[in-house]
């Protein structure tokens, strides 16, 4: 099945809508629309990595998180202070329903142990996990649990 | 007083219709459970049927892990439309087999994003064997075994192309269902009960392997057949599943539950055509669900049968 | 309550089923011994009846017309109520209310229905004088809505056997209600 996304406002020709109802074509949609990533001062939650050596302060935008697209700010520290140079992968997963999301979030390092995660699309209500792979100076994992209304 | 004839066969039409009710409510494409129920059951003497089912539904909220109901936030909209082509045939006089081929479309508006997607869904094959036909015995209710398989022919969430996943049309795993159904009637009144077990096969997505918990579904219905040949029933369905296994460990608190109420009806249009329909709602109240979205839905089905 | 497998039943019917010998009470107050009743006519048609079945009620006029038409050719029509709650009193009431010119035999333990492999109301069984089954199945191809163009299976079967031949279809579907046995 074909799928397509359109940039800007939702635009979908009548022919495409009819084809959609006929099950022939998958979609009409705007491209990603990132939230205005202003993060609050207080973290939503703080998690510890699997090894126990890393602490991650988690802030979201919006906070508290809601259904749709989020940005997530991770501030990673260890006993020595902020941890830079990590390659972080983020996999959204719904453990209650056994599935993930259609978009792979993107991670960019901001310096001082801060990492910005964008393209976090959580479209279904319920409990989501952001399952993190933390590689570089270490090889570790962490899980952030978010309750999405 | 002249005894009025009992339009018996509409009990069976209703039995078929009431099975639509919970199936319509269990409508999240990624996460179907007991949708392996036959959506169109052959009534007495029918040898085959084909039908088209239309099911619009709206997401109104969800139950969280503490069984609290959480309404959808302002600005969040999710509407779904499912069309299902159904065919059933009879075999060996007491058996019937059904194939259901779904197509789904979903519209989501979340914050500033609107998205519309869809496609071909998960095909379901199911079967039923009537050990005792309803009404065949004054002492023993009608008793049937039901079996079903849902095939991962639709598009699972990770394979969707759209960011809000509206082109998700499948659960991404096989689902097997087995159970039994009982039915009894008294003049114009009838009652049915169905119990099902459903198990999905494990899913492996990247480094994550998950096996959802075994799901139990119980459906009860009671109805009345009018002299005008129309019939109505009320239904209640409850589904509960155990915790899932995630990468070899129990994901505590991941079990799901939902309670659905419905009203179903059946109306013969002629000897060969009938209309079936239902209105269903997951009950948006505390303790009646867990870790599940809540939906309101409608199902209409037109059936052409051959005797 | 379970009927014989279809093959064994067909063989038994072809050879002549073992019919109950105990007399049947009936709506007209008489007692009917089946063997004697069959022997008194060239052919006997047993139509299985259900008190509340709307399909049976829809076919009342056709059965009455058939009984009247074929009476002069030596065919006798009898109704049989094999449901668990059948009684002679109720049968008498039904026969009077529905103006049946033939009696309803009461088969409350379902013995006759089981012997003939009958599960549904409006099933018609044509028996020779000696008890051999010549036809079993529907009166026609209709349920509640009767169509003039519907194949009239029972009449066609009677015409064939009265002419000395065999019915084109000796077994058809009866579309009536499930009989509620004990």
**Pairwise CB contact (< 8 Å): A125 & B72:** yes
Within B212-256, strands assigned E span: 215-225, 231-241, 244-246, 249-251
Q: Which residue of B has its CA nearest to C142?
A: B271
pLDDT at position C4 over 80: no
For strand C104-106 and strand C75-81, is the pairing parallel, antiparallel, or unpaired? parallel
pLDDT at position B107 over 90: yes
DSSP C171: B
- Out of B113, B161, B208, whose CB is closest to A102? B161
Taking the C-alpha atoms of residue B136 and residue B153, their distance in angstroms, rounded to an integer, is: 39
Q: Are the C-beta atoms of C84 and C116 separated by less than 8 Å?
A: no
Residue, of B73 and B24, whose pLDDT is higher: B73
B8 contact residues in C (CB cutoff 8 A):
52-54, 177-178
**Pairwise CB contact (< 8 Å): B244 & A95:** yes
For residue C63, report the phi and psi dihedrals to the nearest 5 degrees: -70, -40
pLDDT at position A14 over 70: no
Cα distances from B42 to residues B89, B123, B303, in angstroms, run 8, 19, 10
Q: How far apart are the CA of B97 and the nearest CA of chain A, in angstroms? A: 25
| Cis peptide leading into residue A62 (ω within 30°) | yes
Write down the architecture of domain C19-162 according to CATH: 3-Layer(aba) Sandwich (3.40)
For residue B175, report the phi and psi dihedrals to the nearest 5 degrees: -130, 130
The ipTM estimated for the assembled molecules is 0.87
- Specify the range with the lowest mean pLDDT, choosing from A31-35, B225-229, C104-108, C175-179: A31-35
DSSP C26: B
Q: Does B138 touch chain C (CB under 8 A)?
A: yes
What average pLDDT score do residues B141-165 get?
95
Give tens-digit pLDDT for A36-68.
558 999 999 999 999 999 999 999 999 999 999
Which residues make beta-bridge pairs with B219? B194, B237
pLDDT at position A130 over 80: yes
Give the number of C-alpha atoms closer than 13 A to the C-alpha of residue B26, restricted to the C-beta side. Answer: 29
Taking the C-alpha atoms of residue B221 and residue B194, their distance in angstroms, rounded to an integer, is: 9
Q: How far apart are the CA of A59 and the nearest CA of chain B, in angstroms? A: 19
List the end-to-end C-alpha distance of chain C, in Å, as a whole number: 8
Subunits adjacent to chain A (3 or more Cβ pairs under 8 Å): B
Tokens of residue C4, six digits: 């014989």
B13 contact residues in C (CB cutoff 8 A):
none
Q: Are the C-beta atoms of A69 and A82 separated by less than 8 Å?
A: no
Q: How confident is the model at residue A3 (pLDDT cuts 50, 70, 90)?
A: very low
pLDDT at position B33 over 70: no
DSSP B5-66: P--THHHHHHHHHHHHHHHHHS--GGG--STTS-SS---TT--EEEEEEEEEEEEEEEE-TT
pLDDT at position A18 over 90: no
- Specify the range with the lowest mean pLDDT, choosing from B29-38, B161-170, B238-247, C148-157: B29-38
pLDDT at B21: 41
Q: Does C54 touch chain B (CB under 8 A)?
A: yes
Taking the C-alpha atoms of residue A25 and residue C89, their distance in angstroms, rounded to an integer, is: 67
pLDDT at B43: 84
Q: Does C178 touch chain B (CB under 8 A)?
A: yes
Give tens-digit pLDDT for B219-265.
999 999 877 667 899 999 999 999 999 999 999 999 999 999 999 99
B162 contact residues in A (CB cutoff 8 A):
3, 5, 26-27, 29, 102
DSSP C177: P
**Pairwise CB contact (< 8 Å): C54 & B271:** no
Q: Are the C-beta atoms of A91 and A122 separated by less than 8 Å?
A: no
pLDDT at B39: 58
Q: Which C residues, 9 through 48, put their C-beta within 8 Å of a C-beta on chain B?
A: none
pLDDT at position C124 over 60: yes
pLDDT at position C93 over 80: yes
In whole angstroms, how large is the CA radius of gyration of chain B?
A: 19
Which residues make beta-bridge pairs with B276? B266, B301
Q: How far apart are the CA of C152 and the nearest CA of chain B, in angstroms? A: 16
pLDDT at B189: 86
What average pLDDT score do residues B185-211 get?
92
pLDDT at position B22 over 90: no
Burial of A7 (0-12, 13-18, 19+ CB in 10 A): exposed
- Residue among A1, A102, A105 with most chain B CBs within 10 A, to mutate: A102
Mean pLDDT (chain B, rounded): 87
List the end-to-end C-alpha distance of chain A, in Å, as a whole number: 30
**Pairwise CB contact (< 8 Å): A3 & B251:** no
- Residue among C55, C180, C181 with most chain B CBs within 10 A, to mutate: C180
């Amino acid at each position: 099945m074909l799928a397509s996304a359109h940039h800007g406002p939702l635009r979908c020709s009548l022919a495409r809508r009819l084809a959609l109802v006929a099950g022939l074509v998958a979609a009409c949609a705007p491209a990603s629309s990132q939230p205005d990533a202003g993060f609050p001062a207080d973290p939503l939650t703080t998690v510890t990595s699997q090894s126990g050596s890393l602490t991650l302060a988690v802030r979201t935008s919006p906070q508290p998180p809601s259904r749709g697209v989020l940005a997530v700010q991770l501030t990673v520290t260890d006993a020595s202070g902020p941890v830079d140079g990590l390659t972080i992968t983020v996999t959204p997963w719904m453990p209650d329903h056994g599935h993930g999301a259609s978009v792979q979030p993107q991670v960019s390092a901001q310096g001082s142990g801060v990492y910005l995660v964008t393209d976090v699309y959580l479209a279904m209500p319920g409990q989501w996990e952001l399952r993190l792979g933390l590689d570089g100076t270490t090889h570790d994992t962490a899980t952030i649990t978010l309750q999405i209304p | 007083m002249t005894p009025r004839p009992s339009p018996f066969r509409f009990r069976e039409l209703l039995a078929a219709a009431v099975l639509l009710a919970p199936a319509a409510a269990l409508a999240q494409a990624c996460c179907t459970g007991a949708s392996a129920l036959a959506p169109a059951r052959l009534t007495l003497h029918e040898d085959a049927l084909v039908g088209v089912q239309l099911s619009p539904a709206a997401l109104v909220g969800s139950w969280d892990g503490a069984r609290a109901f959480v309404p959808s936030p302002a600005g969040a909209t999710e509407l779904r439309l499912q069309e299902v082509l159904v065919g059933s045939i009879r075999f060996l006089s007491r058996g019937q087999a059904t194939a259901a081929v779904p197509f789904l479309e979903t519209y989501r508006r979340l914050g500033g994003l609107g998205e519309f997607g869809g496609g071909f869904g998960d095909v379901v094959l199911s079967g039923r064997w009537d050990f005792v036909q309803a009404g065949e015995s004054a002492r023993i209710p009608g008793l049937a075994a039901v079996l079903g398989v849902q095939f991962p022919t639709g598009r699972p969430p990770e394979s969707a192309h759209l960011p809000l996943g509206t082109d998700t049309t499948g659960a991404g795993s096989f689902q097997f269902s087995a159970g039994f159904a009982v039915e009894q009637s008294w003049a114009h009144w009838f009652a049915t009960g169905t119990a099902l077990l459903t198990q999905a096969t494990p899913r492996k997505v990247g480094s994550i392997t998950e096996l959802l918990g075994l799901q139990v579904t119980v459906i009860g219905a009671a109805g009345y057949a009018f002299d005008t040949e129309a019939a109505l029933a009320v239904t209640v369905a409850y589904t509960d599943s155990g915790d899932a296994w995630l990468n070899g460990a129990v994901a505590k608190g991941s079990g799901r539950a939902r309670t659905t109420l419905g009203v179903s009806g059946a109306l013969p249009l002629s000897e060969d055509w009938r209309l079936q329909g239902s209105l269903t709602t997951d009950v948006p109240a505390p303790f009646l669900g867990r870790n599940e979205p809540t939906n309101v839905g409608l199902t209409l089905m037109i059936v052409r049968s051959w005797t | 309550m379970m009927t014989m497998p279809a093959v064994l039943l067909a063989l038994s019917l072809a050879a002549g089923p073992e019919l109950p010998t105990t007399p049947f009470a009936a709506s007209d107050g008489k007692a009917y011994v089946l063997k004697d009743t069959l022997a008194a006519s060239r052919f006997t048609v047993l139509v299985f009846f259900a008190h509340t079945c709307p399909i049976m009620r829809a076919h009342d006029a056709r059965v009455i017309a058939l009984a009247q038409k074929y009476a002069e050719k030596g065919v006798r029509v009898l109704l049989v109520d094999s449901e668990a709650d059948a009684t002679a009193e109720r049968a008498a009431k039904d026969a009077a209310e529905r103006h049946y010119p033939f009696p309803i035999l009461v088969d409350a333990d379902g013995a006759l229905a089981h012997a003939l492999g009958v599960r549904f109301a409006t099933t018609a069984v044509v028996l020779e004088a000696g008890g051999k089954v010549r036809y079993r199945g529907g009166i026609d191809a209709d349920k509640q809505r009767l169509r003039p163009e519907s194949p009239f299976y029972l009449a066609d079967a009677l015409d064939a056997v009265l002419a000395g031949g065999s019915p084109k279809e000796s077994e058809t579907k009866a579309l009536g209600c499930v009989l509620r046995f004990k």
